[in-house]
Amino acid sequence: MEFRSLSVILWLIVFIHYGQTQDLPKPTLTVEPESSVFSGESVTLKCEIKGYDGWTYQWYKQDKQSRWSAVSQSEYYTVNRDTLTIRADAVIHGDQYRCSGERHDRLTSSQYSDFVTLTINALPRATLYIVEPESPVYTGGSVTLKCEINTYDEWTFQWYKQDKQHRWILVSQAEYYTVNRDTLTIREHAVIHGDPHLCRGERRDRPKVSQYSNSVALPVNALPTATLTVEPEGPVFTGGSVTLKCEIQSHSNWRYQWYKGSSRTAVSQSETNTFTIRSAADQDQYWCRGERDDRPSSSQPSNTVTLTVKGEAKAVLSIKPDKHVFRGEAVTLRCDIQWGRDTECKYSWYKEANTLYSSSTTQEFRFSPAEESHSGNYTCSGEDIGNSGYSQSSDAVTLTVTGLPRATLTVEPEGPVFSGESVTLKCEIQSHSNWRYQWYKGSRRTAVSQSQTNTFTIRSAADQDQDQYWCRGERDYRPTSSQPSNTVTLTVKDTSPEVSLMVSPSRAQHFITDSLSLSCEGQSDSTGRRVRRYTHSEKVSDCSSGWGSVTGSTCSISSLSTSHTGVYWCESESGESSNPVNISVTNGAVILDSPVHPMTEGDTLTLRCLYHDPKPSNLTAEFYKNGSLLQTQTIHTVSKSDEGLYHCKHPERGESPQSWISVKGLLRSEASFSVLSLLSRVMAASPYLLVSIILGLKCYKARGEN
């Protein structure tokens, strides 16, 4: 019994000693495939423990925190006893794995295997490029792409094209594609600018596929454009010569193909870009195209031109400077005929269709100066002397010759004028515009004056101004001149009117309700003289018509109103008129006491302001000439320089109307202060005097009519 117990103890001692001295088994971990792993491949790990059987295996993967965690069957892992398969999408470069074994008998576990690190190599890259033609690619040419992979051998190639939905679709041998191992030829009708293509390689051994290549978009350039022109343009006549010209702006060394109608076969080919039809007969459409030995080997077809061939050439008649000319101008008739060929021509000109007017070898027939007798219908025709041919007669063109526009000269005032009066000549031309006016005196053919306006004024008539006057218009456009006007005779008299008008109170301005006396005085008996006036409302009327009371040759107005504003004068039974005076009536509070008749040089002028009742306590007023303040109200010795528009201004009552004060020379009679002289001075007056201006002009005209 003791011996048996001792045996057991010895056996335990031996076993413990063996466990302390013998290591646990260590698995061996291998990787399949043994060589490099490529992107997209799965990996199989194998765990093997030699010397013992009955093992089951545990798999471990190191995480990002360097901790080992168990790996079991899952979506990405397949465990098959001693192997672990890692699917392709879970194979990550640098991941580390290890394994260990377990069993139910003694030595229930093994050591951990050495870890393995996964090394993933990129797939070989395919490169796609255009090998034919060399850049650029032109419309109508085929394109060859080449797919190249520099590593490994025995590749076959797949070709892809992107569709309109940006999806890559496989391209194979077809009507428009030719596949020859590593090249893809796209035939001309399938070559579209911008179409993207790419490729990829495949093989039996590892790696089985390559990466997709770069994408290549087809850069297609349009073929050079041919442009066709024809000379001459428009219809040609039978037998005429026509030249077609084909122009291609880019590249050089073109051969030119010429096509007619719908034919696809050239009717002619030339090294030059012109094609001449010597004797046109058929009309049709023509187009051209260029061809050459280098790329691009052809151009685009040109535009089409239509050649129209007509029977007989027709003459065309034109008239210069116009179909309507003026007497005295030069007229040129021109005959144009498009023969369509070089020719020597004889031209014939006809008036009223059947009357031969002239014949010559030049295209133009000229006559100068034109007269009204040249008016009529003209035609022309031509004879081709060299080819014994005749043109059709031209359409008739009507030439009209008229007289130049007529100038009409009038004088204001009409009839004799007195020394010192102003006379205005007026030249009127009814038609056309932009005239310059030439003024002539007596028998002179040289103008005494020229103006842009149609009036010519003699400011102070004298004996030397007595003569005949006429005018004429000139301009830069046709007609360049008018006919001379009628002549007018200017007569200047030195005597004064036999009758004059006296005004009481003797001033030009009056208040309403004032009384006014107008008397006709003269060198002879005043019997038969009457006071007349012109107002805008009543025209010309006598004192006896109701606006005043007549006593002998005196007209009295008991109560003035603004309607009495007008021009007044005396007139004898023989029609002799006095110098007119301008009377203005205002309903204002202030008037200027200004002389009603012209002053004489050397007189003293004292200006006064008159006030409507009640008079202001302060009678101090300011006096103005032509709008400028005067420093004094008295001018001791008046001269012509003192003429102007005068008015006064009171600080409380306001301003008076304006009156023109005129000054005559010492040797000039009162008669020299004519109606026109008066009105010309009033022209610059205030708007209040505008009525007087209008009345004065109409009055003068009315005096001549009554």
405-434 pLDDT, tens digit per residue, is: 999 999 988 878 877 778 999 999 998 999
Cα distances from 325 to residues 322, 371, 374, in angstroms, run: 6, 9, 10
Q: Is the pLDDT of residue 196 over 70?
A: yes
Amino acid 524: pLDDT: 58
Q: Is the pLDDT of residue 673 over 50?
A: no
**What is the C-alpha to C-alpha distance for residues 229 and 626, in angstroms, rounded to an integer?**
76
288-319 pLDDT, tens digit per residue, is: 999 998 888 888 899 999 888 776 778 999 99
Q: How many C-beta atoms surround the C-beta of residue 49 within 10 A?
A: 23
Contact indicator for 463, 419 with CB cutoff of 8 Å: yes
Do 127-221 and 315-402 have matching folds? Answer: yes
Q: Is the pLDDT of residue 2 over 50?
A: no
Domains of the chain, residue spans:
28-121, 127-221, 226-310, 315-402, 407-493, 499-705
Beta bridge mates, 30 = 46
Contact indicator for 160, 202 with CB cutoff of 8 Å: no
**What is the C-alpha to C-alpha distance for residues 674 and 656, in angstroms, rounded to an integer?**
26
Amino acid 377: pLDDT: 93
Per-residue DSSP letter, 547: T
Nearest to 560 by CA among 516, 518, 615, 612: 516
Superfamily of domain 499-705: Immunoglobulins (2.60.40.10)
SS3 642: helix
Amino acid 697: pLDDT: 47
Q: How many C-beta atoms surround the C-beta of residue 666 within 10 A?
A: 7
Q: How many C-beta atoms surround the C-beta of residue 564 within 10 A?
A: 20
The CATH code of the domain at 315-402 is 2.60.40.10
Fold of 127-221: Immunoglobulin-like (2.60.40)
**What is the C-alpha to C-alpha distance for residues 535 and 506, in angstroms, rounded to an integer?**
20
Of 356-360, 377-381, 396-400, 672-676, where does mean pLDDT reach its minimum?
672-676
Please report the DSSP string for 142-157 in residue order.
-EEEEEE--SSS--EE
Amino acid 693: pLDDT: 46
352-379 pLDDT, tens digit per residue, is: 877 787 888 888 999 889 999 999 999 9
Residue 35's pLDDT band (cuts 50, 70, 90): low
Query: Average pLDDT for residues 91-95, to the nearest whole number?
Result: 84
Superfamily of domain 407-493: Immunoglobulins (2.60.40.10)
112-127 pLDDT, tens digit per residue, is: 999 988 888 888 999 9
Fold of 28-121: Immunoglobulin-like (2.60.40)
227-284 pLDDT, tens digit per residue, is: 999 987 777 766 667 889 999 988 899 999 999 988 888 888 999 999 988 777 778 8
**What is the C-alpha to C-alpha distance for residues 321 and 330, in angstroms, rounded to an integer?**
8
Residue with tokens 């208040």: 511
Beta strands in 183-323 (DSSP E): 183-186, 196-202, 216-217, 220-221, 226-231, 236-237, 242-248, 255-260, 268-270, 274-277, 284-291, 305-307, 309-310, 315-320
Question: Which helix H or strand E contains 701, and what residues bound it?
Answer: helix 690-705
Q: How many C-beta atoms surround the C-beta of residue 493 within 10 A?
A: 16
Beta bridge mates, 146 = 129, 183
Contact indicator for 482, 443 with CB cutoff of 8 Å: no
Q: Is the pLDDT of residue 621 over 70?
A: yes
Amino acid 555: pLDDT: 94
Residue 13's pLDDT band (cuts 50, 70, 90): very low
Nearest to 686 by CA among 662, 661, 659: 659
Q: Is the pLDDT of residue 18 over 80?
A: no
Q: Is the pLDDT of residue 14 over 70?
A: no
Q: Is the pLDDT of residue 597 over 60?
A: yes
Residue 74's pLDDT band (cuts 50, 70, 90): confident
Looking from the CA of 237 toward its CB, the CA atoms found within 13 Å total 15
Q: Is the pLDDT of residue 523 over 90?
A: no
Q: Output the average pLDDT for the chain.
A: 83
Give every CB contact of residue 595 below 8 A, 6+ residues apart in sequence.
506, 507, 508, 605, 661
Superfamily of domain 226-310: Immunoglobulins (2.60.40.10)
pTM comes to 0.37
Asked if omega into 369 is within 30° of 0 (cis), the reply is yes
